[in-house]
Homo-oligomer: A and B are copies of this chain.
Amino acid sequence: MIEVQAYAAQGPKTPLTPWSFQRRDVGADDVLIDIAFCGVCHSDIHQARDEWGGSKFPMVPGHEIVGHVAEVGSRVDRFKVGDRAGVGCFVDSCRVCANCQADLEQFCVKGMSGTYNGFEQDKKTPTFGGYSTRIVVDQKYVLRLPDALDLAGVAPLLCAGITTWSPLRHWNVGAGQKVGVVGLGGLGHMGVKFASAFGAKTWVITTSPGKADDAARLGAVGVVVSKDADDLAKHAGSFDFLLSTISAPYDLGAYLGLLKVDGTMVTVGAPERPLDLHLFSLIMGRKSLAGSLIGGIKETQEMLDYCGEHGIVSDVEVIPADRINEAYERMLRSDVRYRFSIDIGSLRR
């Protein structure tokens, strides 16, 4: 067994604290990764605090994992010791269902193995995430990382990156389109970077007019202030595509009204409670409302390769592991631009 240092929640109402545990030995198909950085996702907070229900404790959160290969199993052919390597939101899936076969492991019919707060495919061995020094993962579920990029900023690509990349690619967002990214946080700032890199005229739709400078720096052509009725009216019926990253309750109709005929709004954020939807807001203009969930291994690799070619990383604030509880509080106040990345080296000192 492999000894690991970590930060873990021991229960739903406790702060995260240092914890050590053991991971499985490196199997024939496994890669052992010495973790360098782990991004901090909003869903880490929801799960650590059991806000979605069903949380399993102790819990080591973290599914935006980057580091270096420290050991490989006898059948591993995609990685060698010293390579950069990453792990995203899942570490396994059934591999045989139609969705797994279609490179959509996130929709595995038998259920993917979440990187933490989940189970291995045996449905009984718990998984532990990236707020930890080392992780052992089957090579099929390990991503290659571009050498040129800053690793701390690469980490959030494994969730925030692929979550926004996947719908923008699936719905063919690109040049000649007017695209809106709703919400400018960890997900939204990656959505703006990608949509503008793909050539779309990209707008940030936000409650905060103060984010205009940041929006421009990230590649947006402008900002629509969603609380300003005049601003909404000015842009009514003008967007080809909207990507919503917000998980607070909101007025779906107000956003659908921004779409032109045949426009599509895709959400990657979900408020806990249902929203009101008047179906006329879809019928008038043949509009579509859709959802998207992270992405499969194949497209995550494509995203990482693209980021390497185009020099794209997440904007991060690097913190030592012992500041994770403070980071959670700041995230709840939207006080981070735009993602915390834990320096896992701090766990080894």
Point out residues on A near B: beta carbons under 8 Å: 99, 102, 104, 107, 109, 170, 237, 252, 261, 264, 267-271, 273-293
Contacts and interface: CB of A to CB of B under 8 A. Distances in A.
A282 B275 contact: no
A261 B291 contact: no
Given A104-B261, A261-B99, A277-B274, A284 B288 contact: no
How many copies of the polypeptide does the oligomer hold? 2
A290 B262 CA distance: 9
Contacts of A267: 279, 282-283
A201 B280 CA distance: 28
Given A99-B261, A277-B275, A289 B282 contact: yes
Contact of A277 (B104, B170, B252): B252
Contacts of A283: 267-268, 270, 291-293
A232 B302 CA distance: 37
Given A261-B107, A271-B279, A275-B277, A290 B287 contact: yes
Contacts of A273: 278
A276 B276 contact: yes
Contact of A291 (B99, B279, B293): B279
Nearest to A284: B293
Contacts of A288: 264, 288-290
A106 B34 CA distance: 59
A267 to B, nearest CB: 5
Contacts of A292: 283, 286
A281 B278 CA distance: 16
B287 A282 contact: no
Nearest to A102: B261
11 contacts: A104-B261, A107-B285, A252-B277, A267-B282, A270-B283, A273-B278, A281-B291, A283-B292, A286-B293, A288-B290, A289-B290
- Nearest 6 pairs of A and B residues by beta carbon: A282-B291, A283-B291, A274-B276, A288-B290, A270-B279, A277-B277
Contacts of A285: 107, 291, 293
* Most B-side CB within 10 Å, residue of A107, A277, A279, A282: A279
A264 B287 CA distance: 12
A286 B293 CA distance: 7
A170 B286 contact: yes
A273 to B, nearest CB: 8
